[in-house]
A = this chain, B = another copy of it.
Amino acid sequence: MKVTFQIEGASPVQIECNAGDNLLELARRANVAIDAPCSGNGSCGKCRVKLVEGELETIPSRHITDEESEAGWRLSCNSKVMGDCTVFVPDIASAYQSRMKTADLSSPKEIAIFEDAQANLKNSGIRFENNFRCVVVSMAEPTLDDTMPDNERLTWALQAELGVEKISIPYAVMVKLASTLRQNNWTVAIKGELQGDSFLCMEICAPEDTAIVGCAIDIGTTTVTMVLTDLTTGKLLAKGSSGNGQIRYGADVINRIIEQGKDGGRKKLQDAIIKETLTPIIANLCRSAGISARSILRLCVAANTTMNHLFVGVDAESVRMEPYIPSFFGWEGLLAGDLKLPANPLAPVLIAPNIGSYVGGDITAGTLAAGFWDRDEMSLFIDLGTNGELVFGNRDFMMSCACSAGPAFEGGDISCGMRATDGAIEACTIDGTTMEPTLTIVGDDGQKPVGICGSGIIDIISELFRCGIINARGQFSREGDRVKRDQHGMGRFILATAQESETGREISINEVDIDNFIRAKGAIFSAIDTLLSAVDMTVDCIDKVYVAGGIGSGINMKNSVNIGMLPDVDLEKYAYIGNSSLTGAYAMVMSDEANAKCAELGANMTYLELSTHPGYMDNFVAACFLPHTDSRLFPNSKQEY
């Protein structure tokens, strides 16, 4: 039998199948993007499709109302094909995954974080220097009396210009040499890398094209962010982000590792990140910066251990299976050409070192950027992402651990969740008396809300709790215009009615969302708790807290403390340092010393495996309340109504 996918905004796709085949599996086989953060176990409710014709056998789900079911909506993960059928696939997946966002670099706020990181690292003695060069050389035209062949002619010119002995001309340059020299009247730009006493030519081009560019990439489980930087000056040339295309194979690393272990899975997952995610962003950023992709001479990827494995296409199974030994922590030797990334094929791809199966290069790079490795202050570094990772320490020692927070901080697992892009509710206050919310929306003036991003959820839950609208378990305990319940009695708080929203759909937060979020914040706090106990310390020992992650710069530390996500210490100790994984990658791509320092940090950091650590589960359960079962830990958190 046959299934036809009518894809919103794209051509339909048909696939042959057998009776009983799972619809989500079929979509994946047919390369039809259906968002399935829970990897098809029925819990997230995102994989909805609409039956247009034919028959499906579907298990009912709390995510589909009776009216929706009547209209044909089904969860594809819960549906079996029973005959020829046609289903409509809404473009939610691509909206969530691939909506590419290019940053406005004229905004000082965008640039400040990179300038700060650079200044901090320089203060710690890290020079922002690398060995990539572009030189313009002129040669005499050959004659009957000057019979030197092209490659020797270029070698002599470069030896004179650069003062090095050995010039390596690889194949990619050699095949263009004759024509480029002649088309440009023997004056050309050569881009490459000094390597000790030799110079590797990576590109030959017209003398006007002198750009040499670095590309720093943060590959998050949910979101990918990237900057292009001038390798000489460190100036940002372009910045952009999009969802990680792998999300349709699972929202978390475990589901993706399972998926890559299936036949052809490694290639599928690698294609999803490289071809479907990174390639279009790089192309877009190159266009916006006005440079050719071949000018990208070095890249640096900061990502968690699983993302690193999936990115290079190395089997990640051992990350998940005891004894949890990945194929690599650090690894030198990867080239852009190995992965067919749109960059100079000879460009080295640096990988910020992983230190364990669940503390990866995003954390070593983030620690590098945070800079406390050079200070006496006891610092806590928290990266809020799909995995929450922590580092605690100072110049003398550093200890790290990871916990699985789920995608809530990036808007996943939340019915109206979204990333911190245009239309996201990034902050919120609620009037305790009227229960009327006041929203701050990402985007231009007049932007109507589309959904809720991580920082918005923190604010909303904190405000709902402060106003007594929800109780310590996250259940609705006040009634009002903004509080509604469905036929099963599940409560929700309406932030924007269908009329007030951009999409014409109500934006609300319900008890399942709140429960998901409480588990996420509980995972973070209990990890902090456990990590501090492991080194025999308490929150009082903390001199500084660095909060990083893509949940939006609007994160309200006070609210985060109120709900028991972050420790109840003086708010002045808190600093939000943005996407420190990207900042760290930026430092590494620019600076050979930063790169070496990051390797050193990775080698010296101790990794604490929480899942096998006694006490962690108890701590987690205790933390799944607002703010905590032990309220003495949060003396400053209280309900005001």
Interface residues of A (CB under 8 A from B): 142-144, 146-152, 168-172, 174-175, 177-179, 312-315, 317-318, 322-329, 331-335, 338-339, 354, 356
| B151:A327 contact, CB within 8 angstroms | yes
Q: Show 24 A/B contacts (Cβ-Cβ < 8 Å), sorted by A.
A: A142-B323, A142-B325, A143-B323, A144-B323, A147-B324, A149-B328, A150-B325, A150-B327, A151-B327, A151-B331, A168-B332, A168-B333, A169-B331, A169-B333, A170-B333, A171-B312, A171-B333, A171-B334, A174-B312, A174-B333, A177-B314, A178-B314, A178-B317, A179-B315
The 8 residue pairs across chains A and B that have the minimum distance between CB atoms: A171-B338, A142-B325, A178-B315, A151-B328, A150-B327, A144-B323, A178-B327, A170-B333
Which residues of the other chain, B, contact A149 by a CB distance below 8 angstroms? 325-329, 354
| A175:B313 contact, CB within 8 angstroms | yes
A291 shortest CB reach to chain B, Å: 25
Q: Whose C-beta in chain B lies nearest to the C-beta of A172?
A: B338
Which residues of the other chain, B, contact A315 by a CB distance below 8 angstroms? 178-179
| B143:A178 contact, CB within 8 angstroms | no
A346 shortest CB reach to chain B, Å: 11
Which residues of the other chain, B, contact A324 by a CB distance below 8 angstroms? 144, 147
Residue with the highest number of chain B CB atoms closer than 10 Å, among A144, A174, A179, A324? A174
Within the assembled complex, what's the spacing in Å between the Cα atoms of A427 and B257? 69
With contact pairs A179-B315, A333-B168, A333-B170 given, residues A147 and B323 touching in the complex (Cβ less than 8 Å):
yes
Which residues of the other chain, B, contact A333 by a CB distance below 8 angstroms? 168-171, 174
A154 shortest CB reach to chain B, Å: 10
Q: Whose C-beta in chain B lies nearest to the C-beta of A144?
A: B323
Within the assembled complex, what's the spacing in Å between the Cα atoms of A251 and B312? 46
A338 shortest CB reach to chain B, Å: 4
Within the assembled complex, what's the spacing in Å between the Cα atoms of A381 and B425? 84
Of B150, B332, B354, the contact of A328 (CB 8 Å cutoff): B150
Within the assembled complex, what's the spacing in Å between the Cα atoms of A356 and B174? 18
Which residues of the other chain, B, contact A146 by a CB distance below 8 angstroms? 323
Q: Whose C-beta in chain B lies nearest to the C-beta of A326?
A: B149
Within the assembled complex, what's the spacing in Å between the Cα atoms of A175 and B339? 11
Within the assembled complex, what's the spacing in Å between the Cα atoms of A323 and B145? 8
Within the assembled complex, what's the spacing in Å between the Cα atoms of A606 and B329? 54
Which residues of the other chain, B, contact A323 by a CB distance below 8 angstroms? 142-144, 146-147
Which residues of the other chain, B, contact A150 by a CB distance below 8 angstroms? 318, 325-328
Within the assembled complex, what's the spacing in Å between the Cα atoms of A20 and B148? 44
Q: Whose C-beta in chain B lies nearest to the C-beta of A325?
A: B142
Which residues of the other chain, B, contact A318 by a CB distance below 8 angstroms? 150, 178
Which residues of the other chain, B, contact A177 by a CB distance below 8 angstroms? 314, 327
Within the assembled complex, what's the spacing in Å between the Cα atoms of A148 and B171? 36
Which residues of the other chain, B, contact A169 by a CB distance below 8 angstroms? 331, 333
Which residues of the other chain, B, contact A338 by a CB distance below 8 angstroms? 170-172
